[in-house]
């Protein structure tokens, strides 16, 4: 991936370039979140390497989902910073963070179950100019809006095709299987054209065949330069697919390392045996 933007602006710190280090699109530092008396996330720090598939694991209640919520702006942290592509995005609104290229999947809400897959997809890109009514009224701009809608539709079909669900376009989202829903959720997230995707338990309720397909898609997207951070309970899946793993326990980072290092860690084994996984 290029080290400079079109305007020649540096996207990598000079020191990093000199030392040939990898870039870290996501950097979390001193992140903390309490709910009443509960410390859900307790001063955590980690970074995610560009183009990697990084796993965030830990027993139930470890603070994984809260960490995702803090990163994506769904929750405001009590302390700490979140940096994305070098920019401090701490406390920004979810749509601002999504617009910067950091996407997450959302479960399909109940009301969207009564819409087709295609309609769900058309709703996904929140950032279209077409949403601003006055633009459609202004002569000359109308063509522009129409062109944009065509581009969105083209991209929608491209993504449906990529996930091999184009044959489900006219199906109601409520009729999809668990696995097909996961594909649709990921397809929707991809429509915002992100650099990085956060997936919270993307394989929950997915049958082995679809799980394999989802994983293939994730690896394929990684080849294209996308970065992934995923929360997943299945240890074997994490160990076989991630190159880095961050382990949380009781709101803290218990360990960071390669799958092999994590697998052999006494601390990790103990945390899992002590927890209710």
Binding-site partner at residue 7 among Mg ion, ligand ADP, none, CB < 5 to 8 Å by type:
none
Supply the DSSP string of 173-239, one letter for each residue: GGGS-HHHHHHHHHHHHHTT--SEEEEESTTTT--HHHHHHHHHHHHHHHHTT-EEEEE-S-HHHHH
Instruction: Tell me which residues in 22-81 interact with ligand ADP (CB under 6 A).
Output: 35, 38, 40, 58, 60-66
* Minimum CB distance to ligand ADP, residue 102 (Å): 18
Question: Is residue 247 near ligand ADP by the rule CB under 6 A?
Answer: no
Binding-site partner at residue 92 among ligand ADP, Mg ion, none, CB < 5 to 8 Å by type:
none
Compare residues 77 and 125 and give the one whose CB is closer to ligand ADP.
77
Q: Are 26 and 71 in contact (CB under 8 A)?
A: yes
* Minimum CB distance to ligand ADP, residue 198 (Å): 12
Burial 218-243 (b: 16+ CB within 10 A, else e): beebbeeebbbbbbbeebeebbebbe
- Residues near Mg ion, by CB under 5 A: 64-65
* Minimum CB distance to ligand ADP, residue 80 (Å): 15
Compare residues 61 and 257 and give the one whose CB is closer to ligand ADP.
61
Give the Cα separation of 68 and 196 in Å (integer): 13
Kindly state the helix (H) or strand (E) to which residue 131 belongs, with its residue range. Answer: none
* Minimum CB distance to Mg ion, residue 48 (Å): 18
Give the Cα separation of 200 and 56 in Å (integer): 9
> 156 — phi, psi (to 5°)?
-55, -50
* Minimum CB distance to ligand ADP, residue 210 (Å): 23
Given the structure tokens 């006055």, which residue do they identify?
Answer: 134
Compare residues 28 and 187 and give the one whose CB is closer to ligand ADP.
28
Q: Are 50 and 227 in contact (CB under 8 A)?
A: yes
> 111 — phi, psi (to 5°)?
-65, -25
Binding-site partner at residue 5 among Mg ion, ligand ADP, none, CB < 5 to 8 Å by type:
none
* Minimum CB distance to ligand ADP, residue 223 (Å): 29
* Minimum CB distance to ligand ADP, residue 253 (Å): 12
Compare residues 124 and 199 and give the one whose CB is closer to Mg ion.
199
Residue nearest to Mg ion (CB): 65
Compare residues 222 and 252 and give the one whose CB is closer to ligand ADP.
252
Compare residues 145 and 230 and give the one whose CB is closer to ligand ADP.
230
To the nearest 10 degrees (0 to 180), the angle between helices 141-162 and 178-190 is: 140
Q: Are 173 and 147 in contact (CB under 8 A)?
A: no
Of the candidates 253, 102, 128, the residue with the CA atom closest to the CA atom of residue 189:
102
Compare residues 82 and 168 and give the one whose CB is closer to ligand ADP.
82
In the complex, the residues that contact ligand ADP under the rule CB under 6 A are 35, 38, 40, 58, 60-66
């Amino acid at each position: 991936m290029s080290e400079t933007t079109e305007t020649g602006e540096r996207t990598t710190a000079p020191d990093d370039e000199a030392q040939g280090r990898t870039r870290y699109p996501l950097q979390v530092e001193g992140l903390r979140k309490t709910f009443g008396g509960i410390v859900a996330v307790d001063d955590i720090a980690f970074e995610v390497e560009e183009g990697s598939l990084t796993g965030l694991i830990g027993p139930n209640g470890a603070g994984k989902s809260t960490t995702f919520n803090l990163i994506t702006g769904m929750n405001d942290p009590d302390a700490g910073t979140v940096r994305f592509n070098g920019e401090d995005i701490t406390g920004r609104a979810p749509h601002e963070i999504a617009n910067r290229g950091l996407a997450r999947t959302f479960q399909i809400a109940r009301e969207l179950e009564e819409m087709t897959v295609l309609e769900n997809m058309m709703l996904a890109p929140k950032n279209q100019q077409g949403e601003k009514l006055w633009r459609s009224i202004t002569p000359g701009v109308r063509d522009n809006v129409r062109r944009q809608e065509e581009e969105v539709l083209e991209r929608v079909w491209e993504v449906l095709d990529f996930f091999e669900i184009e044959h489900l376009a006219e199906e109601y989202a409520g009729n999809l299987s668990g696995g097909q829903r996961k594909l649709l959720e990921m397809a929707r997230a991809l429509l915002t054209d992100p650099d990085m995707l956060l997936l919270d338990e993307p394989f929950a309720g997915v049958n082995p065949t679809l799980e394999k397909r989802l994983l293939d898609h994730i690896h394929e997207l990684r080849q294209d330069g996308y970065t992934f951070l995923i929360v997943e309970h299945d240890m074997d899946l994490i160990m076989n697919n991630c190159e880095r793993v961050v382990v949380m326990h009781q709101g803290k980072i218990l360990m960071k390392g390669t799958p092999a290092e994590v697998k052999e860690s006494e601390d990790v084994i103990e945390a899992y045996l002590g927890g209710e996984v």
